[in-house]
A and B are shown apart, each in its own frame.
Chain A
Amino acid sequence: MALATRTDRRPSLTRSLWGSTVGKKTVMAVSGLIMLMYLVAHMLGNLKIFFGSGEFNTYAHWLRTMGEPLLHYEWALWGVRVVLLAAVVLHGVAAYQLSRRDIRARPSKYVHKRRRASYATRTMRWGGIILALFIVWHLLDLTTLTVNENAQPGRPYENVVATFSTWYGNVIYLVAMLAVGLHVRHGFWSAAQTLGMGNARRDRILKTLANGLALVLTAGFVSVPVAVMTGVVG
């Protein structure tokens, strides 16, 4: 008897990525890392607030003129925005679909309850939802200035101070930054595993890197409202 000949027809790269749980996690890992790189840059930029209104506002203006004269005004900024929007949408949709699948895969719970996995791991889904809602608030507050108390276009320093002079501005921001830290802590390490970079030897380095990133990001972001609240920035 002859062996059956394999007619090896594989779907396209996009189909096989989106059609598999492993592939969808890959999409989440890559989009997550893109957002993480942006967050690091964003956090470093925020720290310019400690050098005063002039320097912070000049930096904020430069974000719009970045890439000139090769690019037109705001082109580079819009490029970044498009990439980020794509990353957020892909990350969110993949997370939603995978979560639905995961919940279906475990229809009945154990009677004997036991706390499973670490806090950062268990809060990934709710943390993600909190972050998505925060992004909407954050854009309405400091990009479109719709809900900002100061709302002066071209004066981001004064707008930031106005936000962190309200109690709700501080509460929303601090909760969201804690969520970022927890999300990055499990997310960065997970992304490394999903992309196949994890092994027994590298595990410690990856975990340290994940914790370090989470800590530095949260501390960096939180330093701004704390500075406004304590009067260091005002």
Chain B
Amino acid sequence: MRLTLRVWRQRDADTPGAMVTYDIDDISEDMSFLEMLDTLNEKLILRGEEPVAFDHDCREGICGACGVVINGDAHGPERTTTCQLHMRHFDDGDTVDVEPWRAGAFPVVKDLVVDRSAFDRIIGAGGYISVPTGAAPEAHATPVPKADADFAFEHAECIGCGACVAACPNGSAMLFTSAKVNHLNVLPQGAPERETRVLDMVSAMDEEGFGGCTLAGECATACPKGIALPSIAAMNKEWLRATRKASRR
């Protein structure tokens, strides 16, 4: 396959970037999108140019490290991560635009790499359960209704890649935050911190400068793990409940 790639190149956070065009051939349709970028980088290195910087790790769609905007879609045209997107979804001769996640809270570090540590700080505000360490507890000691377990698992699928923020016209992190809140809040293990978790995580999200939710639905369409839009409504419900309880104290 032959492709014309237009890739966002930016030396560092303080230097303005621009789209740079690269023509690339001998692309196999069995390559993943990242392998295609690897092929481009090999050529760039041989030519003595700076390779394109991009984030990646597991390359099997479970870590959340990779992610670029391909032709305007976070993670490209298929509902999967960039590493699991294969070149067979493109046609010979296509022009492909590759850009980093765009959001005020995700500043570009270099080329296609953005700083997503804002997500870490949201998790730090309550995306955990406080338990004493020790041996693993007996699994039957805390029964979880099947429906709740399913609900928690659906939200636990979030890998924190940031595609929701990249796709959102407001750069909002509501889908990410709601996935994390709902995952823990429905489980008995998360119950002791149920109210503080949602209040603290939402306020951490606001402090990071993410936008608000206008229910445009772009996040859920982009999510490679299929976190659904009603996740946001479920978090809103938790937030209102916690706010009511906190104001009564």
Contacts and interface: CB of A to CB of B under 8 A. Distances in A.
Interface of A: 3, 6, 8, 10, 12-13, 16-17, 20-26, 98, 101-114, 116-117, 121-122, 124, 186, 189-190, 192-200, 203
A195 B170 contact: no
18 contacts: A10-B249, A13-B244, A16-B243, A17-B243, A21-B211, A22-B212, A103-B211, A105-B170, A106-B103, A106-B168, A106-B170, A112-B97, A116-B216, A190-B214, A193-B215, A195-B240, A196-B240, A197-B233
Contacts of B171: 102, 105-106
B214 A102 contact: yes
Contacts of B206: 20-21
B51 interface: no
Interface string B152-167: 0000000000000001
A189 B6 CA distance: 39
A102 B213 CA distance: 8
Report, nearest first, the 7 A-B pairs whose CB atoms are least far apart: A196-B237, A105-B211, A114-B72, A198-B233, A102-B170, A105-B171, A21-B212
A105 B172 CA distance: 7
Nearest to A125: B214
Interface residues on B, range: 35 or more
A101 B104 CA distance: 10
A225 to B, nearest CB: 31
Interface in B179-225: 196, 199, 202-203, 205-206, 209-218
A105 B234 contact: no
A61 to B, nearest CB: 41
B150 to A, nearest CB: 12
Contact of B214 (A13, A112, A124): A124
Contact of A101 (B71, B211, B236): B211
Given A106-B168, A190-B214, 14 more contacts: A8-B196, A10-B246, A25-B236, A26-B236, A101-B212, A103-B170, A103-B211, A105-B105, A105-B170, A110-B72, A114-B73, A116-B218, A196-B236, A198-B230
Nearest to A6: B196
Given A102-B212, A117-B217, A121-B216, A16 B247 contact: yes
Contact of B215 (A12, A121, A199): A121
B8 A10 contact: no
Nearest to A29: B236
B123 interface: no
Contacts of A192: 233
Given A111-B99, A200-B230, A24 B212 contact: yes
A12 B244 CA distance: 10
B130 A3 contact: yes
Contacts of B102: 106, 108-110
A4 B216 CA distance: 40
Given A106-B103, A199-B230, A23 B243 contact: yes
A182 to B, nearest CB: 14
A20 B203 contact: yes
B20 to A, nearest CB: 11
